[in-house]
Chain A
Amino acid sequence: MYSPHGREFGSWFQLSGAFRLSGAAAAAESRLAGQGGPGFRWGHMRWGRADMNQDPAGRATILEVEDLRTVFDTRDGAIHAVNGISFHLREGELLGIVGESGSGKSVSMMSLLKLVPMPPARIVSGQVRFGGRDILQLPPGDIRRIRGGEIGFIFQDPMTSLNPVFTVGFQLIEPLRKHLGLSRRKARERAVELLELVGIPSADDRLADFPHQFSGGMRQRVMIAIALACDPRLLIADEPTTALDVTIQAQILELIRRLRRELGMSMIWITHDLGVVAGIADRVMVMYGGMVVEHSTVDRLYAEPRHPYTRALLDTLPGTGGMRAVRLNTISGQPPLLDAAPTSCPFAPRCAHAFERCWNENPALRPVAPDRDHLVHDVACWWDVDRGAPRNDA
């Protein structure tokens, strides 16, 4: 099943890729029939691509983020952590977000619900359309109804994400009573169900236990139960398996797969583990310097990475077959400082293909997949990998 080394998934992707292509063909018909489907709810909005919200399976877009920018005002000046990211998510889809530490993955996802500490953070621009509203424009009370109610959050470190002085039951019942207005008894019953759902044995007794009485994996299950408490439409998981050892990681991933099968929920999964994303995601967004540099379906991204950063990232994965390499591959150089809004390609200093234009203009995300395939594949790069030369378009 799951292996932490992404390379092994090559064959597995091909299988699931073929599977999905047939789905795409079927959906092409439904697209013809279903003009003005749910995707057109916000018809007045500007779209990056004409077919962006037309899903092969005809699923509705539930989250649409446009030009999100977050800046941190620190004593040493502004840090431009998120620099205009746009993406969308469909019903039941799992979007993986990968990138190294400091690439803006967590900050951008927390900005969606204004969970970044403000100040020092400032959301400079952007629209987050969810359920027909722009979350960023909502009054605080309405945002709180969405947090935990419609969008659940799972954080990285289960050791510190739970309050040490309250019982697990208290922390699980809190959102149930607030968002669903359940009585004490009903909330307790639901809490037991939730703990059973995430696979915690003798759930009824464990409600009275404190977080320190749980192991790391069990605590992450509790976090997942809290995030799932109010049947959210969207679950955002911020590196939920990073702090866990590999065996527990595999268990948590299996749990997430099962929950998606049973509950059919949309998810955003932030990670820097390419292997994890390969195993569970439908689409992947690669982030670098607070921007999305490449975006595609998981099989296509791993099979045909276009951005030099993605390619370098995949090259750093050690192979599991053949001779062991003498040295692991690395990406030389440092991640960008982000002390100003980007005016050039943030990856240029570390890029082998960088040429003059990369230093003068920041490339926008543009589709590269051939139109006839109806595939999603966007890359923000001036270099054309196929021709091995700079792109000659404007």
Chain B
Amino acid sequence: MFRYAVRRLIFAVPTLLVISFIIFALLDLAPSDPTAQLPLTIPEEVREMIKLSLGLGEPFHIRYVRWLEQFLVNEPLNLIETYWDVRIGDSEQRLRVRSWSTRAPVIDLIAERLPQTLMVVGVSYMVAILIAVPIGVVSAYRQYSIFDQVGTFISMVGFSVPTFFTGTVLIVIFSVMLGWLPSIYDTTHVVEDFDSFIVQVKQMIMPVMVLGLFNAAQLSRFMRSSMLDNLNQEYVRTARAKGMTEPVVVLIHVLRNSMIPVITVIALGLPATFAGAIITEQIFRINGVGQLLIGAIESADIPTVQTVTFIFAILIVMFNLVADLLYGMLDPRIRYD
């Protein structure tokens, strides 16, 4: 298993390099101008000088290699320096990946916004799993019961209605009409006592529910069909013939088998949830990574878009590996060496 993981990690390096090149090339092909949003009174020569100062005077391959160097060498070195408080070489002169619009290092921007995203997206994903697994188990065990029918209907609705719609409907109902919950997520809010904790919970409820229900709809369908596949297996009859109680049969024998594909789906869905959070973050004004990406795209902030997208790519490749490793751990028939 360990050797397999190492081998996969080594193979991930060329994959990620190719991905980074494709992202860079695509962004370069896009007709965008970082000075387009500056006032029209700025003369053309000044605009040219601004572009030169951003490094746009260099040819494509030089810019790509410079970005690679900044992202893969300079940023890790900087991380090490700040974390262990040491100095490695000439750190003042070292160039970091900087946003074109704010001139701040992109990694710092991401670090500022990551807690909000992890808080909302992470909690919503946990909520989704906690809702989806029991619903899937019960709907499969009581197939075609009222519970199953209602569950099927709700998950169809949850799956087919986009988050920007459910989010807006929730805001209209709970913020505008009832006035129970705030429509804007306040990222500066600090939890220090019970009252501020309640405020935090209240502002999290809607975004977490919007994202959570959307994911739960999908996951519960997966869970249900996986359970149904296994409930008809002969080993289930064997377990019953051994005199095992129904909870043992369903929650130990069947669930353990049914979780194998579902856990894979959960692991693969984790990085996608970061991308899915872009819309939800936008609706609830959550100052997260998704909103950073959207803002950067609007202002043609190429280094930020490039870096955030590439981090998504790394997450996807990593979670693919995690899913494969989990599969091998859960299913004894799979052996990776």
Chain A residues near B (Cβ < 8 Å): 110, 113, 115, 144-149, 152-153, 155, 157, 160-166, 171, 174-175, 178-179, 210, 212, 223, 226, 229
Is the Cβ of B256 less than 8 Å from the Cβ of A165?
yes
Centre residue among B237, B243, B244, B260 by max chain A CB count within 10 A: B243
In the assembled complex, the CB of A156 is this many whole angstroms from the nearest CB of chain B, namely 8
Is the Cβ of A149 less than 8 Å from the Cβ of B243?
yes
Question: How many Å lie between the Cα of A144 and that of B249 in the bound state?
Answer: 12
Identify 10 residue pairs between A and B in the complex whose beta-carbon atoms are under 8 Å apart, listed by A's number. Answer: A147-B242, A148-B243, A160-B235, A161-B237, A162-B235, A165-B330, A165-B331, A166-B256, A178-B242, A210-B333
Q: Does B188 contact A (CB under 8 A)?
A: no
Residues of B contacting A: mostly: helix
- Residue pairs across A and B with CB atoms within 8 Å: the count is 74
The 8 closest A-B pairs by CB, nearest first: A148-B243, A148-B242, A153-B241, A147-B243, A163-B235, A210-B332, A160-B234, A144-B243
Minimum CB distance partner of B241 in chain A: A153
Is the Cβ of A161 less than 8 Å from the Cβ of B243?
no
Across-interface contacts of B233 in A (CB, < 8 A):
160
Is the Cβ of A155 less than 8 Å from the Cβ of B332?
no
Across-interface contacts of A165 in B (CB, < 8 A):
256-257, 260, 330-332
A175-B238 CB under 8 A given contacts A165-B256, A166-B256: no
Q: Does B61 contact A (CB under 8 A)?
A: no
Across-interface contacts of B253 in A (CB, < 8 A):
163, 166
Minimum CB distance partner of A213 in chain B: B332
Question: How many Å lie between the Cα of A163 and that of B234 in the bound state?
Answer: 8
Minimum CB distance partner of A174 in chain B: B242
Across-interface contacts of B330 in A (CB, < 8 A):
165
Question: How many Å lie between the Cα of A225 and that of B151 in the bound state?
Answer: 41
Across-interface contacts of A166 in B (CB, < 8 A):
253, 256
Centre residue among A152, A157, A165, A171 by max chain B CB count within 10 A: A165
Minimum CB distance partner of B333 in chain A: A212
A147-B240 CB under 8 A given contacts A165-B256, A165-B331, A212-B333: yes
A161-B234 CB under 8 A given contacts A175-B243, A212-B332, A226-B242: yes
Across-interface contacts of A210 in B (CB, < 8 A):
332-333
Question: How many Å lie between the Cα of A153 and that of B244 in the bound state?
Answer: 13
A157-B240 CB under 8 A given contacts A164-B333, A166-B256: no
Minimum CB distance partner of A147 in chain B: B243
Across-interface contacts of B331 in A (CB, < 8 A):
164-165
Residues facing A in B241-263 (CB within 8 A) are 241-245, 253, 256-257, 260
Is the Cβ of A147 less than 8 Å from the Cβ of B333?
no
Contact string, B215-243, partner A, CB cutoff 8 A, digits 1/0? 00000000000000000011101111111
Is the Cβ of A157 less than 8 Å from the Cβ of B234?
yes
A144-B245 CB under 8 A given contacts A161-B235, A162-B238, A163-B253: yes
In the assembled complex, the CB of A103 is this many whole angstroms from the nearest CB of chain B, namely 20
Minimum CB distance partner of A179 in chain B: B243
Centre residue among B237, B238, B256, B330 by max chain A CB count within 10 A: B238
Please tell me which one of the listed residues A157, A164, A178 contacts residue B243 in the complex, with CB atoms under 8 A apart: A178
